[in-house]
Amino acid sequence: MSADPNDLGDDSALFECRTCHEEPCAPRLDDLSSWARLCGYDTSCIHLCQELNERALETIQINPKLIADHQFFDFSPEAGKSYIACVSHPFIAKPGEPFWFLHLPPFTLLNGWEENPEEIFYSRLVHGVFDRVLHRTKEFALIVVTVQEMLSVSAIHKHFPETTDEKIYAMFDDEFARRAAWVRWLNYVYVYWNLESDVGVWWLFRQDQPLAHEPARLVLQGHWGWHDALIWAGNHRLSTAEAAHLHSFMLR
């Protein structure tokens, strides 16, 4: 199925890749299912613009790009409320479908946790339902999302059961370590790598004590590329060997 912005009978949000014209896949746990308990969209393909109201609807009729490009929701969303969200490739959903996504404060949305690690504590995993399309082009769509529930990033380790699986952590290999950078803030270590912003991956580790010698658990991972922009959340307890491996990378 192709998403034609001129087909008003198609209420889905689906975009072709502008490079190869392939369509994205819906979020799935994939091979991380042994540790991840939640999978959703990264911020590169969805962000909340503002609450749904009559003035916003009027603005969309006149200048939808103003909402899409210059409106960023600066508060924590609330369960039961509806918001206007801007979505783009590789986001995919139909009306009535629920999905999870990562919500970041505006400054972090633009600059990343590497510039604003303190805003990890203000970031949320949001479970929403896609209600309807307000405006759509080939590049983006403005949709209505109703929030069902939220989970603070800083509470992930309390929400999900603890798992251990060294094979999963092995994906953080030496090749990745040589190319990656990291930043520490209180209980968290954020490790990230990207290839000119086209392909990238990041990991968020939590320490049991602030500024502890070594990270203790993996709570969030993200990956974006030409055909996906996904996040996985869980509570993976690092083994002694895994913690030492990560600590040795941080000493480089």
Q: Which residues contact 47 (CB under 8 A, 6 or more apart)?
A: 72, 73, 85, 86, 103, 104, 109
**pLDDT (0 to 100) of residue 10:** 61
Q: Which residues contact 62 (CB under 8 A, 6 or more apart)?
A: none
- As a whole number of angstroms, the distance between CA 126 and CA 147 comes to 7
- CB count in 10 Å sphere of residue 235: 20
- As a whole number of angstroms, the distance between CA 54 and CA 44 comes to 27
Cα torsion at 7, 88, 154, 187 (round to 10°)? 170
Amino acid letter for position 173? D
The pTM of this model reads: 0.88
- As a whole number of angstroms, the distance between CA 102 and CA 40 comes to 7
The per-residue pLDDT string of the chain (252 residues; one tens digit each, 9 = 90 and over) reads 334 434 434 677 877 776 777 777 777 766 666 788 999 999 989 999 999 999 989 999 999 988 888 788 888 899 999 999 999 988 998 899 999 999 999 888 888 899 999 999 999 999 999 999 999 998 899 999 999 999 999 999 999 999 887 666 666 667 776 778 889 898 899 998 876 667 788 999 998 876 666 678 999 999 887 778 899 999 999 888 788 777 777 776
- As a whole number of angstroms, the distance between CA 62 and CA 70 comes to 14
User: Hey, CA dihedral for 23, 25, 27, 29, is it positive or negative?
Assistant: negative
SS3 169: helix
**pLDDT (0 to 100) of residue 164:** 85
* C-beta separation of 185 from 120 below 8 A: yes
SS3 49: strand
Amino acid letter for position 206? R
* C-beta separation of 236 from 222 below 8 A: no
Domain locations in the chain?
39-152, 157-250
User: CA angle, corner 193, sides to 30 and 165, nearest 5?
Assistant: 40
- As a whole number of angstroms, the distance between CA 49 and CA 17 comes to 23
Residues in the chain: 252
